[in-house]
Amino acid sequence: MRFEARKYPVLMIPGPSEPYPDALHIASLKVVKHYGKEWLEIYNHFYDLALKLFGADSGAIIPFPIPASFTMEVILNSLFEKGDNILFLNEGFFVRRFKETALRYGLKVHHVVPETPGHRVNLDEVKMLMDAEDIAGVVVVHSETSTGVLEDLDGISRVVGDDAILIVDSVSSYGALRMDVSRRGIDVCIGYASKALGALNGITPVYINDDIVGRLKDRKEFRGFLNDMKVWYEYREIWPFHPYPTTLPTQSIISFIKAAEMVLEEGLDRVEERHREVSSYVYKRLEEAGLEGYPESNARSPTVSVFRLEGVDADDVVNYLVDKYNIFIGTSKFAGYNGIRIGHMGYTASYRFVEPVITGIIEYLSKQRS
Ligand SMILES: Cc1ncc(COP(=O)(O)O)c(C=O)c1O
């Protein structure tokens, strides 16, 4: 089988996204080893950039070379005891996955969902539940990639306060939106490389604040090896020349650095504004064409636009875009409804990338209607 890169469709799915060309290119220049003085200079630069993108004044980064859902499993294993109450917020494929993971670790789960799908959670309900139960942890997906809903982190962090460990999945917002973990008092935050940041996949930075660092240090026993954050944290001291317990994908870290430098050079505020502008444009054009946006208008993630479909099948729209325009968008079928999901994140958060998607979808709809 020959791999012919040019034949592969442009990725407008909500991740992996098309990386910034420089972030793709730089990773192919040289394989470098993951330890030693020279590498540590690069690694420390990655570490600082990752903290900056989280908006962290202090705390630490755990550089997990694993997928995001795996990091959630490690987080739950590392921070909670069997029987602890964990509260999950809002609806969507990913939050459901995390809930299922928590159940398998013997945690007691609670779930607050909005009355209407596509809305944010009602903060009064969250508060009532927090007052009624002894909640040890709260899990929220910032930008739920399966529904396109962006949760209100300011409101949620105010309600949670210091009463529970607040864990945020910023998988499809990290690198495009300000996370402000320190200002918001977020305890644990999962970042991502190959969605909104526009880098290659392979490295998933997880932020932990100083309280979590303290908890990991104070805990005497271990809970497994690579699935215990305590092990990851302690390797910084045990092996200063190799401050993590396993091999890291250096090419992914180099790609991450390139993308992060580009984002910070453009300015995170401007990057966020670019995503918001493009997202508003996509919703405006496709709603004018008769599609129904899934999230309510004040809860729309700027990195992924989601529409419910009626009378047409999401797979047919996807296939039309592949056949005619060589572009891939996603469907929502895995999340249980007939819809399309368009990723415009990082490099592809631009009119140049979304315009052909909009044109193709409108063209397909008008063919079906005529
Ligand atoms: C919001 C969100 N959380 C978690 C995940 C899971 O990430 P991974 O596939 O790396 O486990 C995804 C993947 O698309 C996601 O969009």
pTM for the predicted model, two decimal places: 0.98
- Kindly state if the Cβ of 171 falls inside 6 Å of ligand 1: yes
Would you give per-residue pLDDT tens digits along the chain (370 residues)? 888 988 899 999 999 999 999 999 999 999 999 999 999 999 999 999 999 999 999 999 999 999 999 999 999 999 999 999 999 999 999 999 999 999 999 999 999 999 999 999 999 999 999 999 999 999 999 999 999 999 999 999 999 999 999 999 999 999 999 999 999 999 999 999 999 999 999 999 999 999 999 999 999 999 999 999 999 999 999 999 999 999 999 999 999 999 999 999 999 999 999 999 999 999 999 999 999 999 999 999 999 999 999 999 999 999 999 999 999 999 999 999 999 999 999 999 999 999 999 999 999 999 998 7
Centroid of ligand 1 to alpha carbon of 367 (angstroms): 34
Q: How far does the centroid of ligand 1 lie from the alpha carbon of residue 167, in Å?
A: 14
In whole angstroms, give the CA distance from residue 227 to residue 77.
Answer: 7
Q: What separation in Å is there between the alpha carbon of 148 and the centre of ligand 1? A: 13
Q: In the chain, helix, strand, coil percent, each to 5?
A: 45, 15, 35
CA contacts within 13 A on the Cβ side of 318? 20
CB of 193 within 6 A of ligand 1: the answer is no
Residue 77's contacts (CB-CB under 8 Å, 6 or more residues apart) are 105, 223, 224, 227, 228
Ligand 1 atom with minimal separation from the 70 CA: 11
Interval between CA 94 and ligand 1 midpoint (Å):
7
CA distances from 237 to 54, 202, 240 (A): 23, 24, 6
The residue among 151, 170, 150 whose CA lies nearest residue 15 is 170
Burial classification of residue 218, based on how many CB atoms lie within 10 Å of its CB (0-12 exposed, 13-18 middle, 19 or more buried)? exposed
Strand partners, 143: 150
> What are φ and ψ of residue 160, in 5° steps?
-75, -40
In total, the chain counts a number of residues equal to 370
Whether 65 lines ligand 1, by a CB cut-off of 6 Å, is no
Q: Which residues pair with 64 in a beta bridge?
A: 204
Mutate to test the pocket of ligand 1, among 94, 150, 197, 341 (most ligand atoms within 8 A of CB): 94
CA angle centred on 24, ends 20 and 30, rounded to 5°: 150
In the chain, what are the domains?
A: 5-16+268-369 (3.90.1150.10), 22-263 (3.40.640.10)
